[in-house]
Amino acid sequence: MSADIINLRQARKQKARTEAETRAAENRRAFGRSKAERADGEARAEVARRHLDGHRLDKDPSGHD
């Protein structure tokens, strides 16, 4: 009939740590991208921007069309 004695302060802290880790894992899954994935996305955006700028039609600065 012996019960395990636990420290409630430590139990609360451990529960908070576990919940924080669960939330962090969910955030990593939802928002996380690796550094390589971010760099790849930025490079693709730069190529697309250059491609679009290369097809831009600028007006003649003298005012003649």
Look at residue 56 in the predicted model and tell me its pLDDT: 86
Look at residue 61 in the predicted model and tell me its pLDDT: 62
Q: What does the block give as tokens for 34?
A: 């690796």
Cβ–Cβ under 8 Å, residues 45 and 52: no
Domain residue ranges of the chain, discontinuous segments joined by +: 8-54
Look at residue 64 in the predicted model and tell me its pLDDT: 60
The Cα 63–Cα 58 span in angstroms is 11
What helix, strand, coil percent values describe the chain, rounded to 5? 70, 0, 30
Q: Is the pTM of this model over 0.85?
A: no
pLDDT tens, position by position, for the chain (65 residues)?
678 889 999 999 999 999 999 999 999 888 888 889 889 999 999 999 999 998 888 876 665 65
